[in-house]
Chains A and B, each alone.
Chain A
């Protein structure tokens, strides 16, 4: 080995080039560094372009709830709250459902049913978000979200989270439910693949020890595939955080800070989408929207890092436990 590297002759280079290894390595290196460069460039650009509001308002932009662009008031708290609330609620709804779908597809359904349903679930992921938005405005919000919202309000209206009844159909609840539908295929498709990748021996061992189907799934398969499922959750959360079109069409675009999921609200991506067209003529306004973009970028980054950490810890812990 040592001899080979020291004899780095023309012949050696030719040999390597002929096999394409060097070229291939270089190409993949370029591809990999492009991804990194893009992320850095976006972050840098957002930071640069938002300097006006960062200088003028500092942290106030994050902690103020007063949004009045033509009155030079830029408080992004309602949008940060809206994004986090709708995304997390969507995840809470979609995760158990998605897990249920994936377990059914991977473990319980007969092969032909699993293939057909699996295909349909993946198809859901391919529907453009504006279509979800249209469906949300005309069908989903008035016929499904409205009764759910009204029921929640009449049962639990005394809790601030379910208070208010301005418009139960166009509200943060509507946005959360639409997002849940949109991230459901991501979560279920990825975790189905995770379950299918678990070795047969694991299942057989559990069943041989006298575990029921339920016990095998709950105590063996889910812990074994936990890191993969977390990966699915990250993907789903990423889509929910960044989703714009469908959300802005059903959330009501109200710029006030209210706690309730039954009140209309807005999200970071929704406010950028609906006001960027006009913001371009006012420097401070544009800078404020770009800073909201920067905050969204940062939140996504932190959540991703946190989830990676979780996956890493879980992945390290699980196999040793499984070996016991």
Chain B
């Protein structure tokens, strides 16, 4: 008797499940179709308006459906705020093209473009020779540049947070990350910061737990500015073997959170995270001996220092440049695509997007988000290279 009741209930549950699964799929199929149709109508109207205003190439055969061409990208998280803004704005310029970008990190971007699971990859660090070997025909394009800043959280002896812009002499950051400067009142820091009373606290060094383009840029600078760092720790590295006593957070937000909640902490993040996290960030002494705080001009000077030296790979390290106004911890961020595209429709769409992003229209969003557009000389190099992209061996 009991067994039968149980069986009945089980069957009933199964039936209800089936029914539950069936209804939601059945219901939407009739309803949303209308919604989609109305959207199409609305959006094509928008397109027509935009087409009249913006100078766009050939209207093309019977405007394709919105979002019908999907381009997928993945990689560096450093430029993600800018990229997502670009995709959003570009949807108004050409609604047919939808761009997705998954900010999984620079190394992930390189591996995904190598495996061709995405149409383009993003990276802050240049590809290594071994990576080029695996991904024949991939070209890196610098897109924008930006600064990495040293952030700190120090409470003075009265318990108040020091908000002054600390000055970091040329070798100081390297020495801090080597553990040679271990206290905030180290003579090197005290003499560089005459107006600030630094407490006798241990410096808590905070780094990235994940392998990262930001770490690559930061260690690139440390190695360039501090010879002892270079001999002990090597050059630029996405995931170096740090001192035993470091704390590490995941991605820029993780580092920001650890610095915010650790008295005596120093860390390094992309500048927008320092601003959002309301953390003070220091000025850094450049090669010419000047203390420079991260600004657009500082990064522009850094690009100008190395601008004519991009080579065929179009990559360059722009840390520790020689000019007086150069901010020394700067980096390009790159997009990676295959020079010969296999899918002509997607290739052409991507080409169109890149051209728009590099144009003054795209630059304007970069500037509003603390990224620095490329100088003209570099822009020309990128455009020249971009025009050589082909589809199945033929130019677009």
Contacts and interface: CB of A to CB of B under 8 A. Distances in A.
Interface of A: 19-21, 24, 27, 67-71, 137-138, 141-142, 166-167, 169-170, 248-249, 252-256, 258, 264, 266, 273-275, 277-282
Given A166-B247, A273-B250, 12 more contacts: A21-B7, A69-B239, A70-B238, A137-B257, A167-B262, A169-B262, A170-B247, A249-B257, A253-B209, A253-B250, A277-B211, A280-B108
B107 interface: yes
A254 B246 contact: yes
A252 B7 contact: no
A79 to B, nearest CB: 12
B210 A281 contact: no
A256 B210 CA distance: 15
Contact of B247 (A20, A258, A264): A264
Interface of B: 7, 10-11, 14, 104-108, 110-112, 114, 131, 204, 209-212, 237-241, 244-250, 254, 257-258, 260-262
A193 B103 CA distance: 44
A248 B209 contact: yes
B248 A278 contact: no
Given A254-B248, A256-B244, A274 B210 contact: yes
A3 to B, nearest CB: 22
A279 B212 CA distance: 11
List the 6 closest pairs (A to B, CB-CB), nearest first: A278-B107, A281-B111, A278-B211, A253-B209, A253-B248, A277-B105
A280 B107 CA distance: 7
B131 A281 contact: yes
B238 A138 contact: no
A137 B176 CA distance: 24
A249 B257 CA distance: 9
A255 B222 CA distance: 21
Contacts of A281: 107-108, 110-111, 114, 131
A233 B246 CA distance: 34
A277 B104 contact: yes
A89 to B, nearest CB: 20
A254 B249 CA distance: 9
A170 B249 CA distance: 10
A275 B210 contact: yes
A139 to B, nearest CB: 9
A21 to B, nearest CB: 7
Contact of B108 (A70, A137, A266, A278): A278
A169 B209 CA distance: 17
A253 B239 CA distance: 13
B237 A70 contact: yes
Name the residue in B111, B131, B212, B239 with the highest tally of chain A Cβ atoms < 10 Å from its Cβ.
B239
A277 B107 contact: yes
A9 to B, nearest CB: 23
Contacts of A256: 244
Contacts of B262: 167, 169-170
A159 to B, nearest CB: 19
